[in-house]
Structure 1
Amino acid sequence: MTKEEKKQLVGKLSEKLSNTDYFYITDASGMTVAEINDFRSLCFEKGVEYRVVKNTLIQKALETLETDYTDFNNNVLKGFSGIMFSPEVGNLPAKILKEYRKKSGKKDDPRPLLKGASIDSDLFIGDENLDTLSNLKSKQELIGEIIGLLQSPAKNVVSALQSGGDTLAGLVKTLAEREQ
């Protein structure tokens, strides 16, 4: 690859990283070509883009962004690296990684490994964060939960007033009939 081609690739990668709020860097070393292709297919089916990119090119692309990614440079960008870009949902790549590992059945060697992730400019480093990342809720899910929580007390009050009104009316009617 020529210097000009590398420069163009870094430019495209920088643009992609700046336009994506969620990306994961993985380590698929030790996987066969067929396994990587299966993983790539799973990503494609779920709407996540997966690319294998040289660490130096990733590092140069990250340097062009406003967020400080020095922790990635020191701890993540070593060995074989692939990037997963998730357009809208921050936990989707984590779920894909877990699903692929489960499907592959290799419990003693879970690949691909999570090297690092950037979720709305928050950095997560290490495979031990995979469970945490897979349990993250999307912005839409959180908004839905908040709306549900806000509506719940109002529904309970209205329900209690309605059922209480029926009970109260029945009680008054019963008492009125007794007095006659």
Structure 2
Amino acid sequence: MKKEDKSTVIEQIAATLKEYSHFYLTETSALNAEKTSALRRECFKNDIKMLVVKNALLHKAMESLETDYSPLYDCLKGSTTIMFSNTGNAPAKLIKEFKKNSDLLGFKAAYVEESFYGADQLDALVAIKSKNELIADVIALLQSPAKNVVSALQSSGSTIHGVLQTLSER
């Protein structure tokens, strides 16, 4: 590969790293063509961009950015596939689901919510809630007291009404 081509690829990888707020480093070299295609289809369905890169080019792209990605440099061995996503836990869920059927997909590391996670922390990454899930939880918590008050008024109102009706009948 010519030096100009390498610099273009490095710039493209760096631009993609800037574009997405979360990414996962995986090992897909053990997958056959059928399973790789299935993984790509699942990535597409879940709005995850999958990109196979050379480790040296990814390392240089990471160094060219302002964020310090040095904890990930040790993971850049063997073949590396990056899964980019704007939802922090989507690739983790996909990797975990894919590993149920085939143990050939390897998880190396991840950069999620401005933190670095190692290969042993896949379950923790699956448990991370996305922004939309957190918003839904906050809304549910805010609505809960109001629902409790309304239901209490309705139940006690019917009870009071029942008591008054019984008293009036006597």
What TM-score results when the alignment is normalised by the length of structure 2?
A: 0.90
Deviations 1:138-157 (A, max 9, x none): 11111111111111111111
Partner residue, 2:166? 174
Equivalent pair of 1:14/1:64 in contact (CA under 8 Å): yes
Percent identical among aligned pairs is: 44
Secondary structure at the aligned position of 2:110 is classed as strand
Partner residue, 1:129? 121
How far has the Cα of 1:77 moved from its partner? 1.1
Equivalent pair of 1:67/1:121 in contact (CA under 8 Å): no
Partner residue, 1:145? 137
Q: 1:17–1:166: structure 2 CA closer, same or farther, 3 Å change rule?
A: same
* Alpha-carbon distance between aligned partners in 2 of 1:4 and 1:151, rounded to the nearest angstrom: 57
Q: 1:58–1:153: structure 2 CA closer, same or farther, 3 Å change rule?
A: same
Give yes or no for the alignment of 1:100 onto 2:117: no
Partner residue, 1:89? 87
Partner residue, 2:155? 163
Equivalent pair of 1:55/1:78 in contact (CA under 8 Å): yes
In structure 1, runs of 5+ residues without a counterpart are 105-109
Partner residue, 1:51? 51
How far has the Cα of 1:35 moved from its partner? 3.2
Secondary structure at the aligned position of 2:128 is classed as coil
Partner residue, 1:107? none
How far has the Cα of 1:3 moved from its partner? 0.6
Give yes or no for the alignment of 1:80 onto 2:79: yes
Q: 1:174–1:36: structure 2 CA closer, same or farther, 3 Å change rule?
A: closer
Secondary structure at the aligned position of 1:66 is classed as coil
Give yes or no for the alignment of 1:13 onto 2:6: no
* Amino acid across the alignment from 2:134: L
How far has the Cα of 1:177 moved from its partner? 4.6
Q: How many residues align?
A: 170
How far has the Cα of 1:58 moved from its partner? 0.8
* Alpha-carbon distance between aligned partners in 2 of 1:31 and 1:158, rounded to the nearest angstrom: 56
How far has the Cα of 1:36 moved from its partner? 2.7
Partner residue, 1:120? 113
Q: 1:118–1:70: structure 2 CA closer, same or farther, 3 Å change rule?
A: same
* Alpha-carbon distance between aligned partners in 2 of 1:72 and 1:35, rounded to the nearest angstrom: 26
* Amino acid across the alignment from 2:154: Q
* Alpha-carbon distance between aligned partners in 1 of 2:115 and 2:5, rounded to the nearest angstrom: 30
* Amino acid across the alignment from 2:115: D
* Amino acid across the alignment from 1:144: A
Deviations 1:79-134 (A, max 9, x none): 11110111x32111112212222233xxxxx22111111112211111x2112212
